[in-house]
Amino acid sequence: MDFLLGLAQIIGVHTILGLSAYVVLLTGQITMAQAGFFAIGAYVAGMLTVLAGWNILPAMIAGGVCASVVACIVGFPALRVKGLILVVATVAFGEFVRLFWFNFDYQIEKGEIMVGPLGGEGFKQIRYFPENGWSTGEVTLFIWAVVIAVMAGLWWMDRSRAGTVLRAVGEDELAAQSVGIDLTAVKVSAFTVGGFIAGLGGALYAHYTTHIEHLNFGVVLATFAIAYPILGGLSSVFGTLLAVLFIQGFLVEGLRFLGDWRNLLFGALIVLAMNLRPRGLLDERVSRMLGQLFGRRGASEGS
């Protein structure tokens, strides 16, 4: 049971990470910076609960806000470019953040031990959940409550004017600009919201793992962040969840018995899925069909 609950926690946190990239991808921009924002949220929230004794909720929000502020600052110069240059710029930013935490030392004495980030040795003793008597099941429920809240917010955004503007910029920048949409403002706003969501995910990650270090926030994590919404499809937030279940639940955990061969199969299955479903596992056609199906069921139950 503990294994399943641990897997549910991983899937929940990675879903939040994927949704943070989903917002930016809606504008047509591919960013590799989400791992950096994830790290900021993890370290800031961890320091607030461990060193300052904050409650988990305000610490998470503070971590998300710090990540969003950095995202906004980085977004102005970064999102004036596109394509490969943007990818390179955001990879460089992610590595800057990772190396910053690699060199960051700040510890205080707590009881008989020193706690806090210690550079390359990482940040240990992030024990808010066990110290406050949270069970593994309660931690899992808390993580998924945050996942549901983020998904609900993005689902509502998708159906509002904000979602329409984001998709308009992603589909045709010239047409969007011709009707008076400020491209820079829209892209930076998406970057900022994505940074906040990534910060929340990082805060959850730090507290359920209890030990983080700079190596946790490298290019591989950034690649996962953009792989989830791309593989799942940008027609709905549920596509990102489906992709996380496929990658983390099936490819990473379900095929663990294959050992090193799993790495070869991992790439092959991703390529196969993208060729068979180039617009994602949950594309516009499938989303429309599901909407019609559940719409009919709701109408029949109502009658």
Size of the chain in residues: 303
State mean pLDDT over 142-152. 96
> Is the predicted pLDDT of residue 259 greater than 90, yes or no?
no
Q: What percent of the chain has pLDDT over 90?
A: 49
Q: Which of 55, 21, 56 is nearest to 36 (CA)?
A: 21
Token reading at 65: 């806000």
State mean pLDDT over 168-181. 87
For CA atoms 48, 50, 51, 55, give the dihedral sign. positive
Cα distances (Å, whole numbers) of residue 59 to 28, 157, 183: 32, 25, 32
Go through 271-291 and write b for each residue having 16 or more CB atoms within 10 A of its CB, e for each that does not.
Answer: eebeeebeebbbbeebbeeee
> Is the predicted pLDDT of residue 9 greater than 70, yes or no?
yes
Q: What percent of the chain has pLDDT over 70?
A: 87
State mean pLDDT over 138-155. 95
The mean predicted confidence, pLDDT, of the chain is 86
> Is the predicted pLDDT of residue 115 greater than 80, yes or no?
yes
Task: Provide, for the chain, the percentages of residues in helix, strand and coil under a 3-state DSSP scheme, each rounded to the nearest 5.
Answer: 75, 5, 20
State mean pLDDT over 154-168. 90
Q: Considering only the C-alpha atoms of the chain, give the largest distance between any 2 of them, rounded to a whole number of Å.
A: 67
* Radius of gyration over every alpha carbon of the chain, rounded to an integer in angstroms: 20
State mean pLDDT over 42-60. 95
Q: Which residue has the higher pLDDT, 144 or 87?
A: 144
State mean pLDDT over 141-155. 95
State mean pLDDT over 228-246. 87
Report field, pTM of the whole predicted structure over 0.85: yes
Q: Which residue has the higher pLDDT, 119 or 281?
A: 119
Q: Who contacts 252 (Cβ-Cβ below 8 Å, separation ≥6)?
A: 262, 266
pLDDT at 74: 87
Write phi, then psi, for 45 (nearest 5 degrees): -65, -40
Tens-place pLDDT, residues 52-78: 989 999 999 999 999 999 999 988 876
The least confident of 33-37, 178-182, 212-216 is 178-182
Give the pLDDT band of residue 303 (cuts 50, 70, 90).
very low
CA–CA separation, 37 and 228 (whole Å)? 17
Q: Is 31 left (phi over 0), alpha (psi -120 to 50) or beta?
A: beta
Decide: 188 and 75 in contact? Cβ < 8 Å.
Answer: yes
CA–CA separation, 101 and 103 (whole Å)? 5
Decide: 238 and 22 in contact? Cβ < 8 Å.
Answer: no
Q: Which residue has the higher pLDDT, 238 or 271?
A: 238
Q: Are β-strands 123-124 and 108-110 bridged in parallel, bridged antiparallel, or unpaired?
A: unpaired
> Is the predicted pLDDT of residue 230 greater than 90, yes or no?
no
State mean pLDDT over 236-260. 83
Q: Which of 85, 30, 13 is nearest to 244 (CA)?
A: 13
Cα distances (Å, whole numbers) of residue 176 to 26, 226, 293: 13, 24, 32
pLDDT at 83: 74
Give the pLDDT band of residue 29 (cuts 50, 70, 90).
confident
Give residue for tokens 């931690």.
139
pLDDT at 299: 47
Q: List the domain boundaries for the chain.
A: 2-233
pLDDT at 263: 67
Give the pLDDT band of residue 104 (cuts 50, 70, 90).
very high
> Is the predicted pLDDT of residue 11 greater than 70, yes or no?
yes
Cα distances (Å, whole numbers) of residue 26 to 75, 207, 212: 15, 30, 30
Q: Are β-strands 113-117 and 108-110 bridged in parallel, bridged antiparallel, or unpaired?
A: antiparallel
